[in-house]
Amino acid sequence: MIKMLDQNQTPLLDTLKVCAERFHAPFYTPGHKRGVGISPKIADVFGKTVFRNDLPELTELDNLFAPAGVIQQAQELAAEVFGAAQTWFLVNGSTCGIEAAILATCNTGDKIILPRNVHSSAIAGLILSGAIPIFVNPEYDPVLDIAHSITPNAVAAALFKHPDAKAVIMVYPTYYGVCGDVQAIAQITHQYNIPLIVDEAHGAHFAFHPQLPTPALQAGADLSVQSIHKTLGAMTQASMLHIQGKRINRDRLNKALQLVQSTSPSYLLLASLDAARQQMALYGKQLMSRTLQLAKEARTRITQISGLSILQSPLQGELGGSPGFISLDQARLTVTVSGLGITGFTAEEILDQQFGVTAEFATLQHLTFIISLGNTQEDIEHLVQALTKLTEMITSSPSLLSYKAEGQEIWDDVFNVGASVHISPREAFFAATETLPISKTIGRICAETVCPYPPGIPVLMPGEMITKPALEYLQKIQAMGGFISGCADTSLSTITVVKAKL
């Protein structure tokens, strides 16, 4: 019989408190010496208590890279709650977890299968590892201009063509809360005896309520990276990496995490992970029930506002499910505002500046809001009232109309550009480069990531050949009100390319 751990404990947080309160003369880092040396201005904003707890790796506080005390205990407690065989605390965000996962599974020249709408941290992992990306296009809704998940069939086709791949990565959920079929993709991936790595940054809350999507590990993933700070109660940048099974070498993963994490980890972040785990272990279902109830109320009331619609779960929508969209995080609210005749960018600016409501992000047609355990009934009232006032403002001010439906056919071509890898992202990153006017880059090898919003899918990545259709697509997105990120020149007048060999 497996003995359950006492989830009331917060071993790391408790020990940090004891160390902070113990009287002693500090002759160690950090330089502010338990808050004595901080600027009065920052003390006015943050107070002094937080700095008394900003301690280094004292003997009692364990060592993040070789835990044998309170960090190990805190990680074991987290592993039990999140359903993992082993859990690592991350102080460099989910970014370092994704990078370490790729470093742990791929050598230079190894192939790895991943979605085209992967997070930029995966591209960084490719550069660090020297792995060769085999991109799989996610399912795409050209009407809503939203990329969903990669499908089981697409993964099966990629593995059939590249049976020597060392791992598969998928994003679950997407930024919009859309969830693909992790279970089916895990089964396909495991037929090749390779691991499925899941970027579950936005799904840390899934384990705590039956009405939420199935957690990735429970669905069969080998490794999951979660941003505990994004949807639960940890401090920003505090994340966890979970694994199960034997397809990933834990020693190599340990070494990889040491490469991408700070050797001076913040105990404020680590302790917040310990506390967030305890909070969810004891009260998770209750907190998520309340969160989902708030989200349901917001969804119901916003749907009734003329001109607005909301991304619905496949079970609730008229068209039913699809291989790339089998469930939806009901705590993620994507509101389509294009029916008002404005862009999401315009709506975001008005809501933020005039009504004091700040969305998570905007795209051409949508605004996405994250509802979490920290939101209140007052927040929902504020959101609904702001959206109501927005529609009234648009009705009375035709000059604000900015959304044009024509041109949407370009979204159908989103996956027909780019994705032509000629050299590895690592080789392109370290190559000699030059910056050229955009008109002179056709046929050259890109040396940077060029990612348009919407739809937030990189069109060009380091190592890919730049094509005329790709450039035309990027320029059309700019003209329609989108913006370009990831590259040095976001105006898209120039692009950095690999220097031609003479």
121 and 182 housed in the same domain: yes
Single residue among 260, 280, 300 that ends a domain in this structure: 280
**Range in 83-87, 159-163, 355-359, 396-400 the model is least confident about:** 396-400
Given pLDDT bands bounded at 50, 70 and 90, which one contains residue 490? Answer: confident
Residue 268 lies inside a defined structural domain of this protein? yes
Residue 225 lies inside a defined structural domain of this protein? yes
The rounded distance, in Å, linking the Cα atoms of 270 and 276 is 10
**Range in 235-249, 315-329, 375-389, 454-468 the model is least confident about:** 315-329
Query: Does the pLDDT value for residue 416 go beyond 60?
Result: no
The overall average pLDDT reported for the chain is 92
Output the six-digit token pair for 425.
Answer: 């992202």
37 and 101 housed in the same domain: no
Residue 208 lies inside a defined structural domain of this protein? yes
The rounded distance, in Å, linking the Cα atoms of 3 and 231 is 29
For 379-395, the pLDDT digits (tens) are 999 999 999 999 999 88
Residue 25 lies inside a defined structural domain of this protein? yes
Task: Tell me how many degrees the CA angle 210-213-216 measures, rounded to the nearest 5.
Answer: 115
Give the CATH number of the domain where residue 80 resides. 3.40.640.10
Query: Does the pLDDT value for residue 6 go beyond 90?
Result: yes
CB-CB contact of 160 with 128 (8 Å) = no
Query: Does the pLDDT value for residue 33 go beyond 60?
Result: yes
CB-CB contact of 227 with 204 (8 Å) = yes
46 and 128 housed in the same domain: no
Task: Tell me how many degrees the CA angle 316-320-321 measures, rounded to the nearest 5.
Answer: 105
Task: Report percent pLDDT > 70 for the chain.
Answer: 92
CB-CB contact of 248 with 95 (8 Å) = no
Residue 352 lies inside a defined structural domain of this protein? no
Q: Which helix (H) or strand (E) segment is 228 a member of?
A: helix 228-231
CB-CB contact of 268 with 235 (8 Å) = yes
> What integer pLDDT is reported at residue 454 of this predicted model?
55
**Range in 148-152, 261-265, 343-347 the model is least confident about:** 343-347
100 and 244 housed in the same domain: yes
Residue 444 lies inside a defined structural domain of this protein? yes
Single residue among 226, 254, 280 that ends a domain in this structure: 280
115 and 209 housed in the same domain: yes
Beta bridge partners of 332: 370
122 and 42 housed in the same domain: no
43 and 165 housed in the same domain: no
The rounded distance, in Å, linking the Cα atoms of 268 and 275 is 11
- Kindly report each contact of residues 154-163 with a partner whose C-beta sits within 8 Å and lies 24 or more positions away, as own/partner: 155/113, 155/185, 155/188, 155/189, 156/188, 158/113, 158/134, 159/113, 159/188, 159/189, 159/191, 159/192, 161/134, 162/111, 162/113, 162/134, 163/192
Give the CATH number of the domain where residue 438 resides. 3.90.100.10
> What integer pLDDT is reported at residue 26 of this predicted model?
94
CB-CB contact of 345 with 362 (8 Å) = yes
For 72-124, the pLDDT digits (tens) are 999 999 999 999 999 999 999 999 999 999 999 999 999 999 998 888 899 99
Helix (H, G, I), strand (E, B) or coil at 301: helix
31 and 138 housed in the same domain: no
Largest CA distance in the chain: 69
Residue 3 lies inside a defined structural domain of this protein? no
The rounded distance, in Å, linking the Cα atoms of 208 and 7 is 14
Single residue among 280, 307, 339 that ends a domain in this structure: 280
Cα distance from N-terminal residue to C-terminal residue, the chain: 69
Beta bridge partners of 168: 113, 196
> What integer pLDDT is reported at residue 317 of this predicted model?
46
Residue 339 lies inside a defined structural domain of this protein? no
Nearest to 380 by CA among 295, 453, 320: 295
- The domain in which residue 449 lies consists of 408-498
172 and 233 housed in the same domain: yes
CB-CB contact of 144 with 336 (8 Å) = yes
164 and 33 housed in the same domain: no
55 and 149 housed in the same domain: no
Q: How many domains does the chain have?
A: 3
Question: How many Cβ atoms sit within 10 Å of the Cβ of residue 360?
Answer: 17
> What integer pLDDT is reported at residue 192 of this predicted model?
98
- Kindly report each contact of residues 243-249 with a partner whose C-beta sits within 8 Å and lies 24 or more positions away, as own/partner: 243/84, 243/85, 243/86, 244/83, 244/84, 244/85, 244/86, 244/217, 245/85, 245/195, 247/190, 247/193, 247/194, 247/195, 247/222, 248/101, 248/104, 248/105, 248/195, 248/222, 248/223, 249/104
219 and 92 housed in the same domain: yes
Beta bridge partners of 453: 483
For 169-192, the pLDDT digits (tens) are 999 999 999 999 999 999 999 999
Query: Does the pLDDT value for residue 413 go beyond 60?
Result: no
Given pLDDT bands bounded at 50, 70 and 90, which one contains residue 419? Answer: low
